[in-house]
Amino acid sequence: MIATDQDRQTQLPQTTEPRNAGLALDLDWVARAQANTSAIERRASTLGARRSVKKAHQAAWLLKAITCIDLTTLSGDDTAGRVARLCAKARRPVRDDILEALGMGPITVGAVCVYHDMIAPAAEALAGSGIPIAAVSTGFPAGLSPFHLRIKEIEESVKAGASEIDIVISRRHVLTQNWQALYDEMRAFRAACGDAHVKAILATGELGSLRNVARASLVCMMGGADFIKTSTGKESVNATLPVSLVMIRAIREYEAATGFRIGYKPAGEISKAKDSLVYLSMMKEELGDGWLQPDLFRFGASSLLGDIERQLEHHVTGAYSASYRHAAG
């Protein structure tokens, strides 16, 4: 048995963090942001080796990971039927018999992430569940559509029912060190979101250096981002541990200076249960237990859930099942 009454209480929606109000662009702060690449890579290399959780403890951490997943489908051949199946999985991410064997009540994923056209079928399928809908926006994944259309896209997605908007920044502003332009863009995106939370996708694999990642993270938070996110999942390099360390340390620095806690979302190439354990332990060690809740931490993933469910079944039965038995939808 894993769950206690206190554990079950943690499955309920968490108290929403006060929204990041942002602040005036501080170019001196941005210029001070550096990244010691060798030290960061050395620290990252230890994350998967120094901590090992087994048996019931591992199962508990994997259940926590499920509640922090943005279950995602962002394919050109998405249909209303596929989204409906994904939403059904979001409502019941783990089979009831496995949860019962673990002593757990019902859990859900953190959100469902879709393109704008799939918001309506997602809203219908998730009605009454309390699961947020996240929509990718602003010319995702390249972010190169006309600016007024990117703003309009955000507004239309919010109107359609998205409560979270994953925007993509203009990478050229980072590569040319035009921090004012990036800040102004982020402020405009935040304003267009209204009450919807905004996740700023940095596309870190295209930013050129860890120092650029650190500075872009700070500027987006100054501009009002509620979350900062590594990747669209469409780049050749997506979430990595070194990039994650840089971003979450920027989050820690921003919280110390402003009091606002910013969420973090690694996305792309996180498909194994063991990877989720490394990211969760990193969040706990670098930011603390407060960041182990879906209002401050999400995985952007589609196949991760299937592997976690497979590992949980192994914990309960002692046997591994075929991966096709744990489809996302």
**Residues whose CB falls within 8 Å of the CB of residue 259, separated by 6 or more in sequence, listed in order:** none
Would strands 299-301 and 227-229 be described as parallel, antiparallel, or unpaired? unpaired
What SS3 state is found at 52?
coil
- Tell the burial category of 147 from Cβ atoms under 10 Å away from its Cβ (0-12, 13-18, 19+): middle
**133-136 and 164-168 strand pairing:** parallel
Residue with tokens 């403890």, as numbered in its chain: 57
- Yes or no: say if 329 and 89 are a contact pair by the CB < 8 Å rule: yes
Give how far Cα 130 sits from Cα of 8, 210, 244, 265, Å: 17, 37, 29, 20
List, as one string, the DSSP characters of 196-241.
Answer: SEEEEE--GGGSSSHHHHHHHHHHHHHTT-SEEE---S-SSS---H
CB 294 within 8 A of CB 263: no
CB-based contact 216:205 (threshold 8 Å): no
Residues with a known catalytic role: 166, 229, 265
